[in-house]
A and B are shown apart, each in its own frame.
Chain A
Amino acid sequence: KQEVTQIPAALSVPEGENLVLNCSFTDSAIYNLQWFRQDPGKGLTSLLLIQSSQREQTSGRLNASLDKSSGRSTLYIAASQPGDSATYLCAADTQGGSEKLVFGKGMKLTVNP
């Protein structure tokens, strides 16, 4: 059974730092891996989706990488800003059609001005 882990559960950093958020999964047979952002009291917003054939995806200051062989994905946030404060979740797609997304429990990020 696929398990997705995000460590640490929370992180507090000063503004301007470059950050690496980690996501580990136990079964390397995934179709894709998604990173989401969740603001307090809000729904999840998809940030990046990396297909199993890809190694990384980029959007603005965000870069996500995928290493299936080691069961790891990382989300890199460049030059962090207070507006980046949120909970970040990763999810592994084990079936190819979203029906069996397995979510990590998230990492709460606080960027201090």
Chain B
Amino acid sequence: EAQVTQNPRYLITVTGKKLTVTCSQNMNHEYMSWYRQDPGLGLRQIYYSMNVEVTDKGDVPEGYKVSRKEKRNFPLILESPSPNQTSLYFCASSFLAVGTGELFFGEGSRLTVL
């Protein structure tokens, strides 16, 4: 089954404790991206990757890091989480060919930073 898998789905942590949210896709997609979704603000892009070893900032990259060492994986790293990073996070992927960019989303990871 074609899917984007995120882990963990739910996480409560404390300020400053490093954490990683993993994302894996099994569709051989070149493009992967991380979004956060907040009430009243909608979906905002954090980082994206066009292919292995190619990453770029989205609209709200501060406080986050990413890496793309393998095509299927795109982890999101919070080096020192803060309460304003409490949010619902989504990973997404798609093929890159122009006009075919149907985006597939993971189920989401709800993060609470105390």
Contacts and interface: CB of A to CB of B under 8 A. Distances in A.
Question: Is the interface on chain A under 10, 10 to 19, 20 to 34, or 35 or more residues?
Answer: 20 to 34
Interface in A61-87: none
A60 interface: no
B101 A97 contact: yes
Given A89-B43, A103-B42, A98 B103 contact: yes
Interface of B: 4, 31, 33, 40-43, 45, 48, 50, 56, 90, 92, 94, 96-99, 101-108
**A-B complex: 5 closest residue pairs judged by Cβ atoms:** A43-B105, A98-B101, A105-B42, A96-B98, A103-B43
22 contacts: A31-B101, A36-B103, A36-B105, A42-B107, A43-B106, A46-B102, A49-B101, A52-B99, A89-B43, A91-B103, A96-B98, A96-B99, A97-B50, A98-B31, A98-B92, A98-B96, A99-B33, A99-B56, A100-B45, A101-B45, A101-B101, A105-B40
